[in-house]
């Protein structure tokens, strides 16, 4: 199953690969070179397909838990001052996604969307300390009765050139459902209340929609 954000890119890539293979098979007399070109273009197509895959995840709904919004590796767990929305101290948990990870963003908690904003910006590598402030990004806040307001931030990486965010202010959202997509390398930061019990460790690999990040 492939994410809808990748459908057009997949079709275009498939057409280009087909044209390349047809062209070189017709004009080249060297079957070895034709085979190399064919295999190379096929690898590119397979990479595009794997990037836009959208596996079905069976989320066990529990709004007293914060689940991982994405697949990736936990690269930061720290107390920080969140200055865009809360303007106070929060626990930040950051998850880095390589180009090989599933890049679907899922709602970490259910509730009502209180804030949703897109910021244009730079394309520093996603693990750069300033990427959460300077890169292209979106900020979304979801509120429920267990955690109060939880903020997550989609951050574009050095390769990413488009963030897709489905959250709109006033929406009632369900934990684990599709919240957006970040194309080609990225990071997601969660900003949690200080009394949150963190259930992950640095360098831990997490699965979006499944693994627990924090408990109230």
Residues annotated as catalytic (active site), given as ranges: 186
Token representation of residue 66: 């914060």
Q: Among 46, 60, 56, which residue's Cα sits nearest to residue 210?
A: 60
User: How far is Cα 164 from Cα 78, in angstroms, rounded to an integer?
Assistant: 27
Q: What is the 3-state secondary structure (H, E, C) of 148-164?
A: EEEEEEEEECCCCCCEE
β-bridge pairing 197-198 and 104-106: unpaired
Contact 138, 117 (CB under 8 A): yes
CA distances from 116 to 16, 17, 32 (A): 37, 38, 53
What is the phi-psi region of residue 64: left when phi exceeds 0, alpha when psi lies from -120 to 50, beta otherwise? alpha
User: How far is Cα 174 from Cα 62, in angstroms, rounded to an integer?
Assistant: 10
């Amino acid at each position: 199953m492939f994410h809808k954000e990748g459908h057009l890119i997949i079709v275009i890539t498939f057409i280009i690969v087909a044209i390349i293979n047809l062209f070189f098979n017709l004009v080249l007399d060297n079957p070895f070179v034709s085979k190399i070109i064919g295999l190379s273009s096929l690898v590119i197509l397979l990479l595009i397909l794997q990037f836009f895959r959208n596996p079905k995840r069976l989320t066990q709904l529990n709004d007293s838990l914060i689940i991982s919004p994405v697949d990736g590796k936990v690269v930061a767990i720290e107390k920080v001052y969140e200055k865009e929305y809360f303007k106070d101290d929060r626990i930040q948990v950051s998850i880095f996604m390589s180009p090989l990870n599933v890049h679907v963003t899922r709602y970490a908690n259910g509730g009502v969307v209180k804030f949703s904003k897109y910021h244009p910006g730079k394309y520093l590598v996603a693990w750069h300390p300033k990427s959460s402030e300077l890169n292209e990004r979106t900020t979304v806040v979801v509120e429920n009765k267990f955690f109060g307001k939880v903020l997550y931030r989609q951050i574009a990486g050095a390769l990413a050139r488009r963030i897709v965010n489905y959250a709109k202010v006033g929406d009632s959202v369900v934990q684990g459902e599709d919240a957006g997509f970040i194309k080609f390398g990225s990071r997601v930061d969660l900003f949690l209340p200080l009394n949150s019990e963190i259930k992950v460790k640095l360098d831990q690999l997490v699965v979006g929609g499944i693994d627990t990040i924090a408990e109230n």
